[in-house]
Structure 1
Amino acid sequence: MEFAELIRISRCDRVMLHRPHHPVLDGTLCITGHHLIVSSRDKEPQELWLLHSNIDTVERRQQGMTGGTLWLKCKDLRILQLDVIGADQFAKVADTLEDLIRVEEPLLQYPFFYRAMYQILEDGWTAFMPESEFSRLVQPGDDWRISYVNKDYKVCPSYPSAVVVPKNIEDNDLIAIANFRQASRFPVLAYRHEGTAVLLRSGQPLITANGKRCKEDERLLNSVLARDKRGYIIDTRTQNLAQSAKVRAFIPFKTL
């Protein structure tokens, strides 16, 4: 997708790019559906290619009709300064970048759009098969299973489409647990030792000052910690953050 409806201006001349530990780059700005490109006009050309998804915020400082400065604060901690001449060009560049960095649909992101210009020797989509990889964690007849409750990434957008969970926990229970955990990250199996010890990872529980609980979440944890086993729940938050989380509103159960 080219995002033609979002790109008000695709080319802008006479821009100045300031970035740490680099000389000022005087050149041309090009905006594509996924990249911001700045190219110099020097005999030894320099270029900056920046994915829109790497830009966290765009701050604009207009200087009347002469143009203005854009501060691009990136997710890799870089801060880039872009000087644009002309009030109209400045406004169009700023509006375009602000709209492009807000595109959140995963299927519209660059990895799904990219088409290689050479012959692909290996199908990357089949390089990692959950069933074969998880076969080292899930043994026939044991207490774990592969769940595809997140196959469309609607339950937890930061989890893969296939996860390993306790066998006696249904997918509907996982949805309820996701609504009880921060960022919808319900407990999933991350590591399994030869001696049957396991490591689960999850988001923090969204409990309130009233101490509301989630019976599905407790049932999942109890299914892992049998009577003859002992386990530990490690909270990586600071004590202040853990206390402040109790006053947050409880997210009610909803079906997806």
Structure 2
Amino acid sequence: MSCIILLPVMILSGEIVVNEVNFVRKCIGADSSQDDLWGKLICTNFKVSFITHDALCKFQVANRLLGEHDVPLACVEQVVTVNDAKGKQKVLGSNQKLKFNPTELILYCKDFRIIRFRFDEAGPESAKKVCLAIAHYSHPADPQLLFGFEYVGKQYYGSSGTTHYSTPAWTRGQKNNRGVQTPLFDRPSEWDREIKRTGAAEWRVCSVNEGYTVSPSLPEYFVVPVSLADQDLKQYSCFFTTHRIPLWCWNHPNGSALVRMASIADPLQQRKLDQRICSAITKSHPQRSDVIKSDLDKNLPNIQDIQAAFGKVRQICVIEPFEESEEKWLSSMESSRWLEYVRAFLKHSAEVVYLLEGKHVSVILQEEEDRDLGCVVSSLVQLMLDPHFRSLIGFQSLVQKEWVMAGHRFLDRCNHLKKNDKDECPLFFLFLDCVWQIMNQYPAAFEFTDTYLTVLSDSMWIPLFSTFLFNCPQQRTENSIDFAKSKCIPLGEEKALRFPPVWDWSQQFTLKDQALFNNPMYVGKGATCVQNGAVKSFRRTKVTVPGGR
């Protein structure tokens, strides 16, 4: 070990090394130490990094933000320290004390990885300090302590420490490798283009929530029926849960509309408001068709059930992988109910598809706050019905529209602050699983690959992107303004710090790597699939779901 040559650690703008320890062994094999790696374990304010010697670095680093052996702190689920001699084990949280010198560190990660480090040759005090640092920095007490704020702040403040205003490169557009830009839906013009693209002539862009004066969790701009005036919307808002008035999602070519809506908090006003909302949606339909309401809270599993099922899947796949026979393992997967819930969301979405396309009626997806289950169902329905959303740019615009701007609580549901486990729920992961199920049935109908879905899922745990860092657009604005003031960062004409969206893939990957996102079998609207031995066109009205009979 005396001749080990270590590669330099990759440090990003705003990233600082907090603690490190030499002569650490990273355990690779489960039963043998033959393939283990020796090197330095480093904790920064962004990641846990393991730097090994160049002779064993067989793979070129693909991700521009993370090295081959790096783990973002936001991805760390549990920090466990072990002392073999004393037979002690401790799960570390923030600001905790450790009464023994660890001989082993185990990181349980949210992306289903378990990473083990041994300190047999390392200094015991140094090993303890780096373990405590990892535990502390993986439990930020405030959103502004997430690394994304330091990273983005440096783009405005300057890494040299000289105060100046400079617009970050990512604010000029989020383009794919063919130069096509993903709309962020943070301005009226992008909503207006979506109205024209879908032919929703009787719908308009509404600015009633500018400055978030009506609802803190809604975007500043969204789409409503032409027949509903701004004054009416303001009047109605106080009767809806968290003031979330109905949102237009999409229009079918036959005129049927897909709408999302929170529950009406005042039971005395419920019937009257339902009639007014349904009447406005009916007027927007060229045939004045009926409106059907789908109560997602009654028809789908709740977030607690979904989280419990996911916990069982993690236990099966990560904690106890393949300890039993394959048959027993598959039985355990089935009993977790995860696939049952995936099937439930796909089945319900297919039923909504039938109403919109087969029955020519508009559908309202209603949920208590319209920030969780509605995101999954509305996205799946549009994915099944609209070929645009099965393209790469279209899919990204779908997530931006139905998740980010609609106020899905990514900060809470991903539990980035590790404060409240009751709010944690992998709804976005569930959605990606549903998408993967459909992709496997219709492989030529999607422009993107399962590699893209995996990379998108992994990006949730890189706390730099506006896409997954906040609960709603207003939270992003308020926190970034407060952070800028605390750091004396001049924002110039900007309203707030602009965080990069995940859709700017050039921040993570080269053009060569991004090419792996593209499905070579993609044929767009004319996609075919093989079903029961026959080649059939992609039919939007009937989607087979896992476990279906």
Report the TM-score range of the alignment, normalised by the length of the smaller protein: 0.5 to 0.7
Give, in whole Å, the separation in 1 of the partners of 2:79 and 2:246: 36
SS of 2:294's partner is coil
Aligned to 2:187: 130
Change (3 A) 1:137 1:239: closer
Cα deviations across residues 8-50 of structure 1 (Å, max 9, x unaligned)? Answer: x522111222357994221101222212210112524364122
Q: TM-score, normalised by structure 2?
A: 0.33
Q: Residue 94 of structure 1: CA displacement?
A: 2.4
Q: Which has the higher helix share?
A: 2
- Contact 2:278–2:291 (8 Å) recurs in 1: yes
Aligned to 2:130: 93
Cα deviations across residues 143-164 of structure 1 (Å, max 9, x unaligned)? Answer: 6524546869x934xx7x4452
Give, in whole Å, the separation in 2 of the partners of 1:12 and 1:243: 40
SS of 2:139's partner is coil
SS of 1:155's partner is coil
Aligned to 2:148: 110
Which residue of the other structure, out of 33, 41, 47, is the alignment partner of 2:45?
33
Q: Residue 233 of structure 1: CA displacement?
A: 0.9
Aligned to 1:177: 241
Report the residue type matching 1:17 in the other structure: K
Change (3 A) 1:164 1:96: same
Change (3 A) 1:126 1:69: same
Aligned to 2:78: 57
Q: Residue 93 of structure 1: CA displacement?
A: 2.1
Alignment of 1:205-220 (within 5 A): none
- Contact 1:57–1:74 (8 Å) recurs in 2: yes
Aligned to 2:252: 193
Percent of pairs with identical residues: 14
Aligned: 1:12 with 2:21: yes
Aligned to 2:469: none
Change (3 A) 1:172 1:34: farther
Aligned to 1:247: none
Q: Residue 100 of structure 1: CA displacement?
A: 1.8
Cα deviations across residues 68-102 of structure 1 (Å, max 9, x unaligned)? Answer: 32222222211211223444333322222222222
- Contact 1:173–1:216 (8 Å) recurs in 2: no
Range with bigger deviation, 31-40 or 186-195: 186-195
Give, in whole Å, the separation in 1 of the partners of 2:145 and 2:210: 19
Aligned to 1:80: 115
Q: TM-score, normalised by structure 1?
A: 0.62
SS of 1:10's partner is strand
Give, in whole Å, the separation in 2 of the partners of 1:36 and 1:25: 16
Structure 1, unaligned stretches of length 5 or more? 180-184, 245-249
- Contact 1:163–1:189 (8 Å) recurs in 2: no
Q: Residue 106 of structure 1: CA displacement?
A: 5.8
- Contact 1:147–1:163 (8 Å) recurs in 2: yes
Q: Residue 192 of structure 1: CA displacement?
A: 2.5
Q: Residue 173 of structure 1: CA displacement?
A: 2.3
Which residue of the other structure, out of 294, 316, 335, is the alignment partner of 1:233?
294
Give, in whole Å, the separation in 1 of the partners of 2:170 and 2:301: 43
Cα deviations across residues 169-196 of structure 1 (Å, max 9, x unaligned)? Answer: 23992795238xxxxx875333223444
Give, in whole Å, the separation in 2 of the partners of 1:219 and 1:16: 67
Report the residue type matching 1:130 in the other structure: R
Q: Residue 112 of structure 1: CA displacement?
A: 6.3
Change (3 A) 1:232 1:42: same
Give, in whole Å, the separation in 1 of the partners of 2:132 and 2:301: 39
Q: Residue 130 of structure 1: CA displacement?
A: 3.0
RMSD across aligned C-alpha pairs, in angstroms? Answer: 4.9
Change (3 A) 1:223 1:12: farther
- Contact 1:177–1:217 (8 Å) recurs in 2: no
Give, in whole Å, the separation in 1 of the partners of 2:205 and 2:273: 11
Cα deviations across residues 205-228 of structure 1 (Å, max 9, x unaligned)? Answer: 6x9xxxx75678877765542265
